[in-house]
Amino acid sequence: RTTKYQLLVTSLCVMLLGLSIATLSTVTHYGLRFTLISNVSLDSNAYKVIHHTAFYFGICLSMTLILAALLSSAATVQESQCLTATGFFCFALAFCGLIPAACWRYTHSTEVEDSMMDVYDFVYEEVRRNTSSFRRHELTAIHEAFLCCGKHSPFGDTTNVENKTCPPDQVHDEGQDCLQEIQDFLKKHMDFVFLLLGITIGFTVYGMFLTSFLWFSIHFSSNLYRKGKYILR
């Protein structure tokens, strides 16, 4: 009975985590700041690939977690070995996806930040060379989205770019360097993602343990229930 209660609570937490991952993936994919950088980035830049991959991976992972939670809850209520085994498989599948994602975040801790800052650098240099008026519009949109203004350059010739692309209040108040602002924003975002992944991994492992324990409990109790029955012939 205690195991069933724990599994129901764990399933509820896993479902909430799955919904949180789906929400975070959607916000990351369709958020203004991320969308601006993705639309501006070139095909040679890694950010666009990371942007789309993270969204589809997050949606698939959230669906797997929600399915595992629903199957585990149904298995607990009905005491079905088949549903319990399927729930365990979904937990294991989610675990196999969570571990590589957490390892990738740990081993490529600055790749997302670097690719995003490379996109800004490219657009900024295009505007500084006055090669494209369209790039000037894109740079203005980035400055308004990130509430920043230009970047510190060793050449010292960026004032003209800032006057044309920064919001008036940012120019007069010497706004935040955009490269630093992008780096700080992404660091906070990725730290939150890593924390969410860590919590989800913990609940997934716990769910695997509980579903396997429940499966063995149902199996042995079923055998004990059959034992001692007699059939008259």
Domain assignment present for 184? yes
User: Does any domain span residue 139?
Assistant: yes
User: What average pLDDT does range 5-25 have in this prediction?
Assistant: 92
Distance CA 186, CA 217 (A): 46
Range of the domain at 56: 1-125+133-146+158-231
pLDDT of residue 131: 59
Total domains, the chain: 1
Structural domain includes residue 59: yes
Percent above pLDDT 70 for the chain: 85
User: Of 82, 88, 166, 87, which Cα lies nearest the Cα of 124?
Assistant: 166
Give the phi and the psi of residue 222 in degrees, each rounded to 5: -65, -40
Residue range 209-219, pLDDT digits in tens: 988 888 888 77
Q: Using the predicted structure, report yes or no on whether residue 69 has a pLDDT greater than 90.
A: yes
Amino acid 158: pLDDT: 52
Task: Indicate the pLDDT class of residue 224, thresholds 50, 70 and 90.
Answer: very low
Mean pLDDT of all residues in 13-40 = 92
Mean pLDDT of 203-224: 81
CB 88 within 8 A of CB 66: no
**Mean pLDDT for the chain overall:** 84
Q: How much is the pLDDT for 15?
A: 94
Q: pLDDT at position 226, please?
A: 47
- Structure-token match 């308004």, residue found: 144
Tell me what pLDDT residue 223 has. 47
- 3-state DSSP call for residue 68? helix
Kindly report the pTM of this predicted structure.
0.83
Any domain includes 151: no
Q: What's the pLDDT at 230?
A: 45
pLDDT score of 28 more than 70:
yes
pLDDT for residue 227 is more than 60: no
Residue 174 falls within a domain, yes or no? Answer: yes
57 domain residue, yes or no: yes
124: nearest Cα among 73, 92, 164: 164
Question: Do the domain assignments include residue 216?
Answer: yes
**Binning pLDDT at 50, 70 and 90, where does residue 80 land?**
confident
Higher pLDDT, 178 or 168: 178
Determine, yes or no, domain membership for 152: no
- Ramachandran angles phi, psi of 149, nearest 5°: -150, 105
Instruction: Over range 91-105, report the average pLDDT.
Output: 92
